[in-house]
Amino acid sequence: MPRPDTPANSQWWRDAVCYEIYVRSFADANGDGVGDLAGIRQRLDHLVRLGVDALWLTPFYPSPMADHGYDVADPRAVDPLFGTLEDFDALVRDAHARSMRVMVDVVPNHSSSAHPWFLQALADGPGSAARERYLFRPGKGPNGDDPPNNWQSVFGGPAWSRVTDGEWYLHLFAPEQPDLNWRHPDVAADYEQTLRFWLGRGVDGFRIDVAHGLFKAPDLPDVTAGSSLDLMGPRMVPVPMWDQPEVHDVYRRWHGICADYDNDPVLVGEVWIGDPRSVARYVRPDELQLAFNFGLLFSRWDCAAYHDAIAGSLRELGAVGAPTTWVMSNHDVQRQASRFGPGEVGQQRARAAALLLLALPGPVFLYQGDELGLPEVHVPDAALQDPIWTRSGHTIRGRDGCRVPLPWGGDVPPYEFSPPEVETWLPMPTGWGPLTVGAQSDQPASMLELYRRALALRRAEPALGDGPLHWQSAEHGDVLDFVRPAPDGAGVRCLVNFAAEPIGLPRGQPLLSSAPLPTGQLPADTAVWLRV
Ligand code: GLC
């Protein structure tokens, strides 16, 4: 199978721009209102023109879809909703022919409750060998009516559900996502088979879901006051359900498996830990190559916050020799254009943030729709699908607002995502005509053209991508200012003005700016790349 043309230990991922495809919402080829693998194939040229190096596909495996595919019933097959294994092979072939790599998502912390192992565990009953693959326990209190400990599910409510014979099982997410017992040899062996299955089909790496999960402290102790189960926030307190030392051996083994393949596959961990020092342990030289670094995603639009997030992660990950990844959004958080502020302010800052992100050293992860400046959508209550909405007793709306299908063209829903008149799995809002790929293409002032130009420059400039970053001593406290030196001396300086007022623009030829530059000035909420 042809592959992007690079030697085996190219470390291609050290400065790759990876694009997250939320498969349900990218493009719908078969007209059922849900995105699919054939749809992605049809739209690959958008990604080529955008200029990304790699694609990360969210789970497309057979699943009851309780968490939209993150509840996997068979990790080595394709759900008919998304297509067939032949569609997958064809997608990999077509992406490789266009010099784009393909990463798939693996979900080792839990399976679906429809996985044959879980069904067998239910059928075989307490004390059976089949129960050992999960975390079944008797309850506490009279008749065992209370859960075995006080852990809460990330999606709300207790992390335990009771089955009809009286035992309880652990699910850190939805009840349909029972946690696997990683101390059981079958679990480890089966996952290694899964990695080899997809590597054999040509994939270039894995995004590892909840990579800091897998192992739980052996006696499953209660969490004490002050610790938190908040997966989506910075969390510094050690907790018994995450970040246990045994997990590192798993990644050492996976590292070894990937080393058997000649395309230099990458392992990228979703490690939701606030402290970069703990994250750094996952990317020691014989473990994962990369871990998502959520520092920027958690930072409010503030110069000091951004500076500290960038400098802190470069320091801690640099100490173990790993590249720092940069992430501002994904399918679990509010769209950045809305996070940065309302309406035009949010758009203006999202443009500046894009130039900042793409000027940083190391791999960048973009989420589909960032390149269109899509805002968070207020999905009507009746249409909400995220399990968080029901599990929180209809108090937390969840993540659907960033998962609405992509608009490709036209003026009315479904904007060529699906054939006309088809109802998409999440409703698409009216008013998105100007945001479609078609409407933004070749419009010099559009978000899409900003991304295209920035990605083309990032690829062409030896100073950008992997390499050093030198902070400039900022003359103004509200300006982020750094230089990316090139080996030949012609570097790129990036400035982002977080102040409310314009600042004087330093000397240097502007290569690209996120907004027009009045003579000699860098306006508020604007970023520029200068040739130095
Ligand atoms: C990860 C995924 C999220 C999913 C959860 C449980 O955080 O990104 O979408 O709900 O894991 O698998």
* Residue bearing the CA closest to ligand 1, atom 7: 210
pLDDT at 468 over 50: yes
Q: What is the pLDDT of residue 228?
A: 54
Please, what's the largest Cα pairwise distance for the chain? 77
Q: What is the pLDDT of residue 2?
A: 38
CA separation for the pair 457, 454 (Å, rounded):
5
The active-site residue, picked from 167, 270, 400, 525, is 270
* Residue bearing the CA closest to ligand 1, atom 6: 70
* Residue bearing the CA closest to ligand 1, atom 12: 70
Query: How much is the average pLDDT of 486-496?
Result: 92
Residue 72 contacts residue 61 (beta carbons within 8 Å) = yes
Query: How much is the average pLDDT of 18-47?
Result: 98
Residue 336 contacts residue 435 (beta carbons within 8 Å) = no
Judge if the beta carbon of residue 332 lies within 6 A of ligand 1. Answer: yes
Q: What is the pLDDT of residue 8?
A: 56
Q: What is the pLDDT of residue 504?
A: 94
Q: What is the CA(329)–ligand 1 centre distance, in A?
A: 14
Lowest mean pLDDT among 254-258, 277-281, 364-368: 277-281
For the chain, give the mean pLDDT: 94
Query: How much is the average pLDDT of 121-137?
Result: 98
Judge if the beta carbon of residue 386 lies within 6 A of ligand 1. Answer: no
Q: What is the CA(332)–ligand 1 centre distance, in A?
A: 7
Looking from the CA of residue 272, the nearest atom of ligand 1 is 7
Judge if the beta carbon of residue 264 lies within 6 A of ligand 1. Answer: no
Q: Which residues, other chains included, contact 509 with Cβ-Cβ below 8 Å and sequence gap of 6+?
A: 530, 531
* Residue bearing the CA closest to ligand 1, atom 9: 332
Sign of the Cα torsion 50, 56, 62, 66 reads negative
249 given a catalytic annotation: no
Q: What is the CA(330)–ligand 1 centre distance, in A?
A: 11
Judge if the beta carbon of residue 53 lies within 6 A of ligand 1. Answer: no
Tens of pLDDT, residue by residue over 380-402, are 999 999 999 998 999 999 999 99
Q: Which of 40, 179, 28, 203 is nearest to 111 (CA)?
A: 179
Q: Which of 75, 155, 162 is nearest to 115 (CA)?
A: 75
> 429 preceded by cis ω (within 30°)?
no
Judge if the beta carbon of residue 107 lies within 6 A of ligand 1. Answer: yes
Judge if the beta carbon of residue 209 lies within 6 A of ligand 1. Answer: yes
Q: Which of 5, 27, 17 is nearest to 405 (CA)?
A: 27
Q: Which of 110, 211, 232, 108 is nearest to 159 (CA)?
A: 110
Alpha helices in 12-161 (DSSP H): 37-42, 44-50, 85-97, 116-124
Judge if the beta carbon of residue 354 lies within 6 A of ligand 1. Answer: no
Tens of pLDDT, residue by residue over 75-98, are 999 999 999 999 999 999 999 999
Radius of gyration of the chain (CA): 23
CA separation for the pair 336, 298 (Å, rounded):
11
Residue 310 contacts residue 296 (beta carbons within 8 Å) = yes
Q: What is the pLDDT of residue 273?
A: 81
Q: Output phi, psi for 247, to 5 deg.
A: -65, -25
Tens of pLDDT, residue by residue over 289-309, are 999 998 899 899 999 999 999
CA separation for the pair 453, 522 (Å, rounded):
19
Place of tokens 């607002």: 401
Q: What proportion of the chain, given as a percentage, has pLDDT over 70?
A: 95
Q: What is the CA(42)–ligand 1 centre distance, in A?
A: 27
pLDDT at 232 over 80: no
pLDDT at 224 over 90: no
Judge if the beta carbon of residue 292 lies within 6 A of ligand 1. Answer: no
Return the SS3 of 289: coil
Q: What is the CA(55)–ligand 1 centre distance, in A?
A: 18
Residue 149 contacts residue 241 (beta carbons within 8 Å) = no
Determine whether 189 is exposed, middle or buried from the number of CB atoms within 10 Å of its CB (0-12, 13-18, 19+).
exposed
Judge if the beta carbon of residue 210 lies within 6 A of ligand 1. Answer: yes
Using DSSP bridges, classify how beta strands 470-471 and 479-484 pair: parallel, antiparallel or unpaired. antiparallel
The active-site residue, picked from 209, 287, 332, 481, is 209
Q: Output phi, psi for 86, to 5 deg.
A: -65, -40
Q: For residue 216, give both structure tokens.
A: 């739980």
Q: What is the pLDDT of residue 274?
A: 73
Looking from the CA of residue 109, the nearest atom of ligand 1 is 12
Return the SS3 of 473: coil
Q: What is the CA(17)–ligand 1 centre distance, in A?
A: 22
Q: What is the pLDDT of residue 276?
A: 78
Q: What is the CA(67)–ligand 1 centre distance, in A?
A: 8
270 given a catalytic annotation: yes
pLDDT at 532 over 80: yes
* Residue bearing the CA closest to ligand 1, atom 5: 70
Sign of the Cα torsion 168, 172, 178, 180 reads negative
- What is each CA distance from 132 to 179, 215, 220, 384, in whole angstroms? 11, 14, 15, 35
